[in-house]
Structure 1
Amino acid sequence: MKTIQSKLAVIFIAFFSCFCFLLPSYAITKNEMGIVINLSGKQRMLTQKMSKEMLLIAKGVDEAQNKENLGKTAALFDKTLKGLIHGDEDLKLVGIEDAKIVGQLERVAMLWGKFKKNVDSVLSGDTSKGISEKIAKENLPLLKNMNRAVKMYEDYAKKLGGESLDARMAVTLNLSGKQRMLTQKMTKEVLLVANGIDPDKNKSELKKTTELFGRTLKGLLDGDDGLRLTGTKDLVIRDQLKLVAELWEEYKYVLNEIMSSESSVVSEEYLVKVAKINLPLLREMNKAVKMYEESVK
């Protein structure tokens, strides 16, 4: 009898151990999940911001300031990536022990190591067309793989359910965060045109980026079934999104002028406007994302 009981006990312990292994080792809160989705989403933006800053330097636009900005952007990307993997108290990040997510982040880290060589080259004074071509080629794999990680976090939040982040809010945080990236991606695309890198292709990409930004902004305000956005009822967040919309109208006018021009040359006037307007648009969009994050209780 004791032998049977002992065997049953061993089987129960083994089963329980396996069951526990399948569960997350740490029950992440809604707020923590919101921070993870926000900051992982912000990483997408940083890939494009770095690219933009390098191309501004290559074009000779405010070189000293953009070198300083580039150094800070690269350092923040690196710190956040490590924080997503291992956790970071300063950033209020908890590392999520999901094998697929960790594997994807390690893929991002590998691509980041490669892309960072471009950052180091530009900071060391290399502003050749060759380095601009490498930036154009290598920024998108980094962006796409970071975007995959964000989507995995969104799916992870949905899978947990219960006390974790609401699925609709996970989508909203993802796509509002993606808007930050789009502000920098469209600016990068203008600068690729200005630097003579595949002008027609990058004008075409710029058109797609501007259309997606405009559609998503409307969806955040009033909903978009195709984007799985339910719209925003919070009046404070709506006011912030309307401020973003005002800045967007100003920026969109400049971008449309560049896209409609038959020339691949971007005038000094428009370059100055692009360099000036994109950051307020980014900042105000970031405020909206932060508001969404803070609305998670």
Structure 2
Amino acid sequence: MQRRDFVIFGAACGLLSATAVAAPVAGTALSLPMAINKSGRLRMLSQRSAKAWLLLVQGVLPERGRSILHQSLASFEQILGELKSLQPGDEIRGLAQALEQEWRACRPLLVDIRSDAKAIWTHNEAVLAAAQKLTVAYEKVSGTASGQLINLSGRQRMLSQRMAKAYLFRQMGVNAAEASSMLDASMKEFAKAHETLKAASQNTAQIKAELALVEQQWFFFQNALQLTSAADRVKAASDVGTTSERILEQMDLVVGLYERL
């Protein structure tokens, strides 16, 4: 990445940090359902930022990939700050600090396309693990069925990006065997969790309708993930990048509806 790209990147992040995620209304306390959603969003953003980095490195959807990366990094930073307003107990406070520490190690790698891909893999997985622990801790404090649904649907949001990340790592030939296993496990987990969400007694008519749309997007996403032809690797990666964004958008609507329960 040339110096000019770094300058543009920095300016874009400065702008996006103020706009990428809506800030809480002044005087409005962060609720536990909101905290579960936001910490769960950090899981997703960890995977989405790695996906975007891989798109850029492979020269796939360069403008879109750059936009996704900038937005993901800025959103991650903002949510870290927001969660500091609701850290009930030493456990959550410690987990939040551990997550921030892992993120500080990973973020510099993501802003440079010259970074070592295996280092990205290692640090990105550490960020995800830390965000998962924090989200589960918030759900535990909540102790409600709706909290469980926010966590589960939020994890689906993350898996949409994790599958794309695994696909792109495999296509790049980096940790290919591990990436194949990650992709297979994530696809199975997503399918199983979707059935669990569909069966939830708390589902409203709107949630059922949105989950049906997720199922449609899942069909297209699976087709993209099964593209393995070496004839047009760029198109295959482009399809994965595009469909992963579509299912993420739809799944995000579902998480928001569960939060409002």
| TM interval, short-chain normalised | 0.7 to 0.9
Amino acid aligned to 2:225: L
Instruction: Please tell me whether residue 101 in structure 1 is matched to residue 84 in structure 2.
Output: no
Give distance in 2, aligned partners of 1:139 and 1:101: 21
Structure 1 residues 209 and 192: alpha-carbon distance in aligned structure 2, compared to 1, 3 A threshold: same
Q: Distance in 2 between matches of 1:53 and 1:83?
A: 24
Partner of 1:139: 124
- SS of residue matched to 1:121: coil
Is 1:217 aligned to 2:185, yes or no? no
Structure 2 unaligned spans of 5+: 1-27
- With normalisation by structure 2, the TM-score equals 0.84
Percent identical among aligned pairs is 24
**In the alignment, which residue of structure 2 is the partner of 1:282?**
248
CA contact (8 A) 1:232 1:238 kept: no
In the alignment, the residues of structure 1 paired with residue 136 and residue 260 of structure 2 have an alpha-carbon distance, to the nearest angstrom, of 20
Deviation per CA, 1:147-197: give whole Å up to 9, x if none: 000000011112xxxxxxxx2111101000110000000000011011110
State how many pairs are aligned: 234
User: Is the alpha carbon distance of 1:192 and 1:231 closer, same or farther for their aligned partners in structure 2, counting shifts above 3 Å?
Assistant: farther
Aligned to 2:175: 198
Distance 2:71 2:234 in 1: 26
Query: Which runs of 5 or more structure 1 residues have no equivalent in the other structure?
Result: 1-27, 88-94, 159-166, 223-229
Instruction: Quote how far apart the aligned CAs of 1:82 are.
Output: 1.6
Contact 1:194 1:266 in 2 (8 A): no
3-state DSSP of counterpart to 2:116:
helix
Looking at structure 2, the residues matched to 257 and 71 of structure 1 have their Cα atoms a distance apart, in angstroms, of 27
- Residues 1:183 and 2:182 are matched in the alignment: no
Q: 1:193 touches 1:266 (CA, 8 Å); kept in 2?
A: no
Q: Deviations over 1:219-239 (max 9, x none)?
A: 1001xxxxxxx4443111000
Larger RCO (alpha carbons 8 Å, 6+ apart): 2
Structure 2 residue aligned with 1:155: 140
Q: Tell me, yes or no, if the aligned pair for 1:187 and 1:274 is still in contact at 8 Å.
A: yes
Report if aligned partners of 2:135, 2:151 keep a CA contact under 8 Å in 1: yes
**Quick one: distance in 1 between partners of 2:154 and 2:237?**
25
2:212 alignment partner in structure 1: 242
C-alpha offsets along residues 120-148 of structure 1, whole Å, 9 cap, x if unaligned?
323xxx2xxx5211111111111011100
Q: Which has the larger radius of gyration?
A: 1
Quick one: distance in 2 between partners of 1:73 and 1:209?
21
Measured after TM superposition, the shift of residue 61 of structure 1 is 1.0
